[in-house]
Structure 1
Amino acid sequence: MRTNTLAWPLALGSFLVLSACNSIGAPAPVTAAAPVPPPRDGKSLDSGRPPRNQCDAKAVQSLVGQPYGANTLAQALAAAGADTARMLRPDSMITKEYQVGRLNVVVDTAGHIVGVNCG
């Protein structure tokens, strides 16, 4: 059985050259998020970006106990990095499907935020 002694060095060299072109260690450039306009109906808001299926409810837990205002939903959407946000009242009709990139801001009858969650 005869092996070609040049095959291994060429294969290894090609692999090393191609792996040098890899950009795994390079950080992605950070861009500022565009400001999100307040919702028209006051109950739901879309980020206007392609869906990323991300939502960080922990980032907006400080809103719990605060009064719900005109810009609250836009601020919460931007802080959570969610795709969409909606305001839910105790009498709100809601759907049961779970959406990873949706932020729910739960408001009581007095107009104070009582909970923030994703889904």
Structure 2
Amino acid sequence: MLVTIQIQDDLLSTLLTHAQDAGSSVESFIEETLREALSQPVAENTVVEGLLLAAIEGVAQIKSKAEFSLDDVIDAGDWDLMTGGERKSLGRRFRKEAEGSGVAKWLRRNSGNKAIYQKL
């Protein structure tokens, strides 16, 4: 398949240098690099996985029967650094894990559209 893309000059220069250093054609180098990159776990999954574990551990600090939101159980700095997509992914995974393990249950969404949970 023939694909045409625009690449910034500095990136193209680096690409050409890396391909030459590897002793590969540009096409082969691009293909190998893409295959390697696509076989790696997505960085977002790594971020979300780490924060998911921290959030589940953070629930232990919440009093029984108390209501909380996800940003109450993880570090505020981590929450602020996440993208909207990462927050959504974390929220979905947190709900599944929290309810599945019996540490909390989902109650409702508040006026700010945050999921509200209750510690069990």
Q: Which structure: greater strand fraction?
A: 1
Q: Which structure: greater helix fraction?
A: 2
Larger Rg: 1
Q: TM-score, normalised by structure 2?
A: 0.33
Q: TM-score, normalised by structure 1?
A: 0.33
